[in-house]
């Protein structure tokens, strides 16, 4: 069974250095220096090696909605295994509920326009992406490097913006207490203005991941 959201939030809040955003609208956390420099460097190398153009389930008719590059990290890569262990330890979430780790690379001018990580129930692609494993629950994202300018993650509806910092973790619950989706988790991977941004993302599902 997937752990209750309140127990996950409590476990995150108890982690040394973890900060919860003071809002009743969403469960949103950050933790600086969550991943060490050596792990971040190893993950960046993997992303550079295997990156490809990012895709999206629904671009709303905008071909520039998501312009980053993506890397699917094989589970047998040692850096990926280290990240999985870190996330399991901090959250208490069963790895069986997690999608494979994904890396993203944003060059100058690239972004991911405001979106949510969950799939809208009844939406065009809901059955396609959620019939086997259910909807997305928690999101965990780790910035792998400092970015000279731009590249922030903005939660407009929460009036909160996070700047990229090497090793910093962001984590949020895509659902409300009753299990329904939380539209307040809308977020924008803002354009990089200078340098390159690298991140690692892990999504968890309502049921065990079956692809």
So what's the pLDDT on residue 4?
A: 65
Sketch out the chain's domains with CATH numbers: 5-205 (2.60.120.620)
For residues 15-23, average pLDDT:
97
* pLDDT, tens only, 110-166: 999 999 999 999 888 899 999 999 999 999 999 999 999 999 999 999 999 999 999
Cα 68 to Cα 177: distance, rounded to the nearest angstrom: 32
CA–chain centroid gap for 141, Å, is 4
Q: Return all residues near 204 (Cβ < 8 A) that are at least 6 apart.
A: 2, 93, 97, 98, 99, 136, 137, 138, 139, 140
Other C-beta atoms lying within 10 Å of the C-beta of residue 201: 16
Cα 3 to Cα 93: distance, rounded to the nearest angstrom: 7
Contact 116, 174 (CB under 8 A): yes
192 has a pLDDT exceeding 90: yes
26 has a pLDDT exceeding 70: yes
Among 40, 4, 1, 64, residue whose Cα is nearest residue 141: 40
pLDDT category at 2 given cuts 50, 70, 90 is low
3-state secondary structure of 145: coil
1 has a pLDDT exceeding 50: no
CA–chain centroid gap for 161, Å, is 15
So what's the pLDDT on residue 8?
A: 95
23 has a pLDDT exceeding 90: yes
Integer angstrom CA distances of residue 120 from 29, 65, 117, 123, 178:
23, 17, 9, 5, 16
* pLDDT, tens only, 37-95: 999 999 999 999 999 988 776 656 667 788 899 999 999 999 999 999 999 999 999 99
209 has a pLDDT exceeding 50: yes
């Amino acid at each position: 069974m997937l752990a209750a959201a309140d127990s996950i939030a409590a476990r995150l809040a108890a982690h040394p250095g973890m900060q919860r955003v003071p809002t009743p609208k969403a469960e949103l956390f950050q933790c600086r220096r969550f991943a060490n420099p050596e792990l971040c460097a190893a993950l960046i190398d993997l992303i550079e090696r295997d990156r490809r153009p990012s895709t999206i389930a629904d671009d709303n008719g905008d071909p520039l909605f998501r312009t980053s590059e993506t890397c699917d990290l094989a589970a047998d890569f040692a850096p990926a295994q280290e990240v999985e262990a870190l996330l399991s330890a901090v959250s208490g979430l069963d790895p069986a509920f997690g999608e494979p780790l994904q890396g993203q690379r944003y060059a100058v001018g690239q972004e991911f326009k405001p979106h949510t990580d969950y799939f809208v129930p009844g939406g065009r692609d809901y059955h396609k992406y959620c019939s086997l494993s259910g909807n997305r629950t928690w999101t965990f994202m780790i910035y792998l490097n400092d970015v000279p300018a731009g590249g922030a993650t903005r939660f407009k509806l929460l009036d909160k913006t996070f700047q990229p910092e090497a090793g910093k973790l962001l984590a949020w619950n895509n659902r409300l207490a009753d299990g329904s989706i939380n539209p307040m988790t809308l977020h924008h991977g803002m354009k990089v203005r200078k340098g390159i941004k690298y991140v690692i993302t892990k999504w968890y599902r309502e049921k065990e991941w079956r692809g």
